[in-house]
Chains A and B, each alone.
Chain A
Amino acid sequence: MESSRPAVLTASKSIGPISPPGETGSRIESTRGARANERTVVAARGVAGVLCFLALWEVVARYDLLPRDVLPPASTTLVHAAQLLGDRSFLGQIGSTLWAALLGYVLALAIAVPAGLVLGLSDRLHAATATVVELIRPLPPVGLVPLLVLVVGQGIEMKAAVVALGCVWPLLINTIHGVHSTDGTAKATARSFGWSRGTVAIRVVWPSAVPSVLTGVRITVSVALILCVGAEFIGGSRDGLGSWLLQQSMLPGGIDTVCAGVVVAGALGLLVNGAVTALERRFAAWAHREDS
Chain B
Amino acid sequence: MTTTLLEVDDLRHTYRTRQGDQTVLDGINFDVQRGEFVSIVGPSGCGKTTLLRTLSGLLRPTGGTITLSGNVITGVPKGLAMVFQDYRASLFPWRRVGANVEFPLLGRVSKAERRARTLESLSAVGLADAADKYAWQLSGGMQQRVAIARALAMRPELLLMDEPFASVDAQTRSDLEDLLLRVREQFDMTILFVTHDVDESVYLSTRVLSLSKAPTVKTADVPVPLTFPRDQIHTRENPSFVETRSEVARLIRQASPGGLAAAAGAH
Contact = CB atoms under 8 A, between A and B. Distances in A.
Interface of A: 28, 183-186, 188-189, 191-194, 203-204, 207-208, 210, 286-287, 289-292
Given A207-B94, A286-B94, A292-B140, A189 B134 contact: no
B92 interface: yes
Interface of B: 56-58, 75-78, 80-82, 84, 86, 88-90, 92-94, 103-104, 106, 134, 136-140, 154
A192 B58 contact: yes
Nearest to B88: A291
B62 to A, nearest CB: 19
Contacts of B139: 292
B84 A185 contact: yes
B77 to A, nearest CB: 8
Contact of B90 (A185, A290, A291): A185
Contact of A193 (B86, B104, B137): B104
A185 B89 contact: yes
A241 to B, nearest CB: 38
A192 B76 contact: yes
User: Which 4 A-B pairs rank lowest in CB-CB distance, beginning with the nearest?
Assistant: A185-B89, A193-B104, A192-B82, A183-B89
A203 B105 CA distance: 13
B81 A192 contact: yes
Contacts of B77: 194
B84 A188 contact: yes
A208 B93 CA distance: 9
B84 A189 contact: yes
Given A192-B81, A292-B137, A185 B86 contact: yes
A286 B134 contact: yes
Nearest to B77: A194
Given A191-B76, A194-B78, A289 B134 contact: yes
Nearest to B59: A188
A189 B77 CA distance: 14
A171 B92 CA distance: 24
Contact of A292 (B78, B92, B136): B136
Given A183-B89, A185-B84, A287-B93, 11 more contacts: A184-B89, A185-B89, A186-B89, A189-B82, A192-B82, A194-B77, A194-B78, A286-B93, A289-B93, A289-B136, A292-B139
